[in-house]
Amino acid sequence: FTFQDGRHCHPSCPSRFIKGFCAMACFAQPTAKFSTLRDMTTTRKAVLGVMGVLGGGAAGMVYALNESVKASELELHCTTFPWPHNGYFSSFDHASIRRGYEVYKNVCAACHSLKYVAFRNLIGVSHTEAEAKEEAESVQITDGPNEEGHMFQRPGKLSDYFPNPYPNDEAARAANNGALPPDFSYITAARHGGENYIFSLLTGYCDPPAGVQLREGLYYNPYFPGGAIAMAQALYNEVMEYSDGTPATASQMAKDVSTFLRWASEPEHDQRKKMALKALMIFPLLIAISYYIKRHKWIVIKSRKFAFKPSSK
C-alpha cells in the first residue's frame, strides 16, 4: 500500500487490520478547513470594524438621550433604610402591618384606593378572622342590581375588596384639583425605591427653595419628580391614635404605612422566603441522589472497551 505522501506500507505487515487501515488511509483526503481571523480579507475586516463602531455609537447615543430626559437634577434620591424584612430570610413586621392598615384606614383611604386587596387577605397577617370580618362590615359596598334593577348598599364581606373612595376617575380628579390619586395596591412595586420612596415622600415636605415658584394647589417635596406635588402633607404628630398604644409620630406612621403598602403589593413575601428556605435545605440531598443515579447508570457505558476481532477466512 502506498500513501499519498509517498510512504509505503510493508506488505509483510503482521496484522490484516493494520493493512486494511493503511488501505483506507490511502484513499482518505483531508478536506476540512478552519477559518481564522487572518484568512479574512481586509475589506471584510474594515466592514466589521465600521459596524462595531456604529453600533457602539448608537448605543451610547440612546443611553445619553435616555439620561437627558430624566429630571435627575430636580429629584432627590431616597435613602435606603434598614427595613426588618430586607434580609434574605426575614419576614414582615406584622404588628407594623396592622398599624399601617390603621394609618391607611384613617388617613389615606379618603383619597387613595386599594382595589386589588380584599378583606380576607388580612386574615392571619394583621387581623384574626373575626377582626377582618368586623372591618369588612364597617364599610358599605355597592352591589346589585336587585330584583327591581337598582343598585343598593350592603355591609361588606370578607370576599369584598377595599372600596374606592370615588365612583370614577373623573370624580377623583374633580375633587383633587385635576390630580388623580393613584391606587395603592402596587404603589411600592411601581415606584423606584419602593417603601424607601414612600417613607421619604411622606416625611419630606418642606418649603420650596429660593427661586422655585409653585402654582396654587401644589406643594414642594424634593423626593417627588419635579418637586411639585398635588398631595398635601398628610401625616403629623398625633394626627391619630394607634390601638396598641404606640406613639403616633409622623415618622412612625410613615414607617408603618410604608410596610403595609409593601405587604399589599407583595402579600406572598413571607411564604416565598419560607419556600426558598425549604428548597435550600432539600437541594443538597436531591443533588447527591442525582449524582449517584447518574454514576450508577453511566458507569457501565463510560467504562466500555471495544476490541476489533477480524473474521477469519
Compute the C-alpha angle 151/155/156, nearest 5°.
100
Compute the C-alpha angle 264/188/186, nearest 5°.
50
**Helix H or strand E encompassing 219:** strand 219-220
Nearest to 88 by CA among 268, 258, 261, 272: 272
Distance of CA 213 to the CA centre of its chain: 37
Per-residue DSSP letter, 152: E
As annotated, the binding site includes 108, 111-112, 231
As annotated, the binding site for heme c includes 108, 111-112, 231
Nearest to 103 by CA among 244, 307, 7, 206: 244
CA distance 286 to 164: 49
Q: Locate cell 403595609: which residue?
A: 260
Q: Count CB neighbours of 254 within 10 A.
A: 22
Over its C-alpha atoms, the chain yields an Rg (Å, rounded) of 36
CA distance 257 to 80: 16
